[in-house]
Each structure stands twice: as structure tokens, then as C-alpha cells.
Amino acid sequence: MLNSGDSTYPVDQPRLHIKGGYSLAGEVRISGAKNSALVLMAGALLADDTCYLRNVPALADIGRMAEILQAIGVTVKEQSDGIEINAQDLNATNPPYALVSQLRASFFAIGPLLARLGVANVPLPGGCAIGARPVELHVRGLQALGAEVIIDHGVVQAYAPKLKGAKIYLDYPSVGATETLMMAATLADGETVIDNAAQEPEVVDLANFCIAMGAKIYGAGTNSITIVGVDRLHGTEYDIIPDRIEASTFLLAAAITHSEISLAPIIPGHLTAAIAKLEEIGAKIKLEGPQRLRIIPAETYSGSDIETLPYPGFPTDMQSLFMSLLAVSKGNSLVSETVFENRFGHVPELNRMGADIRVKGNHAVIRGVPFLSGAPVMGTDLRATAALVVAGLAAKGETIVHGLQHLDRGYEAIEIKLGQLGAKLERRGGVTQPVKC
Ligand code: UD1
């Protein structure tokens, strides 16, 4: 262990050494959306022949999802521009705990397994750093579709020889529950309506993928989704949407370093909340084409209030990234996190870099400071770690970001992409270990 100041940080783990204060320039390519790719991989279990997913990001989480699918009899082949998944021989109903516990998104397998095989035994994914993350909305929805569900020894055991369409109201527009139930309903008897459904772009991407496989789904992207069950889904080829959270990470990296960069491909409509907030605090965003935008930074930014909400509200996944910028913006800001109960892991670390942020309950009060100073910091979850990288790009001196096992779950080649834009950063240390979430 390395002693740095009053904290201890592991020196044998991978870490990013960032020299702050350098401007960025040029264009960055945005990868496929992690959260779409993960659920679409599970969705491919619904088809009884080959699905080909393109624009799949090369991430630790994708590798874990592939292992989970292989463990239940699915063929997963990495090809030059995508992943081929064939679930014709889907034969096991119980993805192993050792794998599921490494990746929450693997719980998505429950809907397709139940729809295809009539049985699913999927370990409860458990909580993670950002919150308890229960799955009772998934379970109640599956029960509404006619499944018998019991939870025994930490395993959700679901049984339904044939699911039946139903009217389901979600108490909260959960992204995961909407996706689980939409997948399950594609092969059910009759019509399912999911009310108070999540409207996130990744839900729409899943619906479009299922439609390409032959599913009948109407209204995805609104708060009421109707699914008319069909007898079977067939294989298809599909391009995953660009990752709106990765895009916003680069927007914030540019804003905080007062740099002008272009991003492509992006879907501007998926970034509405981020663009509105960046423009409100002083940056300018120029659309340069249907899938390309340019950020023009301000000399100084003004503080602002943010409240995270389900889509189309301000995304919880962008909260930490904006907090890094607000930490060096003029005046006071108030950030309220309403989606997850424990998503301020970046705050103590930003404060170690000289930020002035106080947390009370689910609110963070930020008093803007003129600059941040480089320091060794520890990422506690995926987006908290990304926020520390963003902060490090602007901080005076060297920032050493630990906790890269989190970062690598969700960012493809982040240090290479930032390096190509002109950032001065280097990865050192051992190989990243898997982490649960
Ligand atoms: C997905 C995203 C995650 C994003 C989140 C919100 C994936 C793999 N992950 O997570 O990056 O931050 O959407 O946009 O797509 N809840 C319940 N009971 C349930 C289900 C959820 O109480 O049965 C609660 C959760 O604990 C949380 C809130 O609802 O407080 C939102 O969760 P949800 O929308 O389900 O997020 P995920 O699908 O887990």
C-alpha cells in the first residue's frame, strides 16, 4: 500500500495517472450503449436462431454477460464487427450464482428463460454500491403474467408453462422491470399492457430489437407499452444505439477543460437533458449533422440545480459527471438524487481535490471553487469513477484515479479516447478484476 497524505491506496491495482490542465481537441467516436447491449444480449435468448448484434462495446460487463449466456447453453461468438448469439440450444434454466453475482444485468435472463422454457431459476442479483436495487417490480409483473414465483435460498424460481398477457402497472418506471416484462410478454398468450413504463432510450432499443425478431410491441418510449404475444421470435441483425452516458462524459470532459470537441455518432434527442443543462450553465452545443455535435465551452460556468429523474428527466447516470463541473462553477448548486439512495460516492473524493460539497440526505450542496487540485482518489462505482476522471482532467497537478474495475465496466478504451483528444493520462498497475454491480 502507498501512503499518500492521510489515505492509503493500493499500488498493485490498475489506476489512471492524469496530468490535469491540458485542453482537448478533435473528434471522439462514441461506442454502442452498454445498457442496451447488455439487455439485448439477454433479449437474443428469445429467438430460436442466430441474432447478430453490431456496435457492441468492448467492456468487462459484456464479457461477463457472454459467459452467463454460455453457461445456459447459448453459443456466443465474437465477430469482427459484433457478437453472434444463438440460443437454439438454450437448455439450462439456472444461470450460476458465481457469474450472476458479478453482473446485475444478468437478472435480465429471467424474462426470456421463462418465456422460452417455462422455467427460470435466477439468483437474486443483490444490491451494489449505489443502492439496494430490489427486483420486486420484476417479480410482481411476472406473477401478473401468470408465473408462479417463489424466492428460495436467494434464488428467484419462476414457473409458467405458458405466460398470459396482462395489464401491469409499475409503481415506479423501473428500466429493468420494464425490460424484463416486455421481453417476457413477447411470447405470452394475448396482449400485455405495461403502464407507468420506463421511457429510456435503451427500452426503445430493446423494443426495436424484439420487433426486428418478429415481436409486436407498440408505444415503447411512452409510458404505456402494449405487447401482443407471438408464437416465436426469429434471428435478426441489429445495430445498438450510441451510448448517451459515454457521450455526456466526453461533453463534461470538454466543458471542464474549456475545450472544443466534436462527438459522433450520437442521437441528439437522447442527450436533451444534458445539452439543456450545459447550455444553461454557459456552454454552447452545435449540431453538426444528424449524429454529430460540437461543444463550445465557456470561460466560466454558473452554478445550477439538478434533480435526477426517470427519462426524459435528468439521468442519474450523469449526476456525478455534472457535479465535477459544478464544483468549479461560479456560485452555489444543489444536486438532488432521487433515483438511487447512495449515489454520492464521488463527493468525498471531489472534496479531497479541493471541492466544497456538503451532502444532506439525497441532496448535495456545492459551493463553486476556483480550481481543483490533483490528488489520489478512489472510485466507488462506475459513474463516480468517471466523474473523478473528468475532475482530474481539469485539476492542477496529478490526479491518480483508483477503482478502475468500476470504470472498465462501462467505458471502452477511455484513456485511449481521451489521449487521442490531447489529455495527458496513463494507465498503470495490474489487470482489472471483476466487480459486482
Ligand atoms: C438501469 C441502468 C442504470 C441506470 C438506471 C436508471 C442498466 C443495466 N442499468 O438500472 O445504469 O442508472 O436504469 O436509469 O440498464 N427499483 C425498485 N424495485 C424494482 C426495480 C427497481 O425499487 O423492482 C428501484 C431501484 O432500486 C432504483 C429505481 O427503482 O432506486 C430505479 O431502478 P431501475 O430503473 O430499475 O434501474 P436499473 O434497471 O437497475
Q: What does the pLDDT read at residue 81?
A: 85
Ligand 1 lining (C-beta closer than 6 Å): 35, 38, 105, 131-138, 172, 174-177, 198, 200, 202, 316-317, 339-340
Domain boundary among the residues 207, 239, 271 is at: 239
Q: How far apart are CA 240 and CA 205, in angstroms?
A: 7
Q: Cβ–Cβ contacts within 10 Å for residue 153, how many?
A: 8
Distance 386 CA to ligand 1 centre (A): 19
Distance 340 CA to ligand 1 centre (A): 8
* pTM (whole model) above 0.85: yes
The tens digit of pLDDT for each residue in 158-207 reads 999 999 999 999 999 999 999 999 999 999 999 999 999 999 999 999 99
Q: Are residues 170 and 250 in the same domain?
A: no
Distance 63 CA to ligand 1 centre (A): 21
- 174 falls within a domain: yes
Which cell is 179 given? 425490460
- 58 falls within a domain: yes
The torsion of the CA quartet 38, 116, 205, 72, rounded to 10 degrees, works out to 10
Q: Is the pLDDT of residue 127 over 60?
A: yes
- 433 falls within a domain: no
Which residue minimizes the CA distance to atom 26 of ligand 1? 133
DSSP assignment letter at 147: -
Q: What does the pLDDT read at residue 437?
A: 53
The pairing of beta strand 237-239 with beta strand 15-19? unpaired
- 325 falls within a domain: yes
- Within 50-200, residue ranges assigned H as helices are 60-71, 97-100, 110-117, 136-144, 175-186
Annotated catalytic residue: which of 51, 128, 210, 437?
128
Q: What does the pLDDT read at residue 4?
A: 40
Q: Are residues 52 and 192 in the same domain?
A: yes
- 434 falls within a domain: no
Q: What does the pLDDT read at residue 80?
A: 83
Mean pLDDT, the chain, as a whole number?
Answer: 94
Examine the residue annotation and report whether 128 is marked as an active-site residue of this protein. yes
Q: Are residues 344 and 271 in the same domain?
A: yes
Q: How far apart are CA 52 and CA 143, in angstroms?
A: 31
Instruction: Name 437's Cβ contacts closer than 8 Å, sequence gap at least 6.
Output: 103, 104, 128, 129, 130, 381, 382, 406, 409
Contact 185, 192 (CB under 8 A): yes
Nearest atom within ligand 1 for CA of residue 173: 34
Q: Is the pLDDT of residue 436 over 90?
A: no
Q: How far apart are CA 211 and CA 214, in angstroms?
A: 5
- 9 falls within a domain: no
Q: Is the dihedral of CA 174, 180, 182, 185 positive or negative?
A: negative
Domain boundary among the residues 208, 239, 270 is at: 239
Which residue minimizes the CA distance to atom 15 of ligand 1? 35
- 10 falls within a domain: no
Q: What does the pLDDT read at residue 3?
A: 37
Per DSSP, which regions of 196-310 are E strands?
216-218, 224-228, 237-239, 260-264, 284-289, 292-296, 305-307
Q: Are residues 126 and 167 in the same domain?
A: yes
CATH of the domain at 323: 3.65.10.10
Domain count, the chain: 2
- 122 falls within a domain: yes
Tell me which amino acid residue 104 is. Answer: R
The pairing of beta strand 82-86 with beta strand 75-79? antiparallel
Domain boundary among the residues 201, 221, 239 is at: 239
The pLDDT of 300-317, averaged and rounded, is 98
Which residue minimizes the CA distance to atom 38 of ligand 1? 176
Q: What does the pLDDT read at residue 368?
A: 98
Residue 341 belongs to what domain range? 15-31+243-428
Distance 176 CA to ligand 1 centre (A): 6
Q: Are residues 265 and 183 in the same domain?
A: no
Q: What are the phi and psi torsion angles at 429 (to 5°)?
A: 105, -175
Q: Is the pLDDT of residue 208 over 80?
A: yes
Q: What are the phi and psi torsion angles at 43 (to 5°)?
A: -60, -30
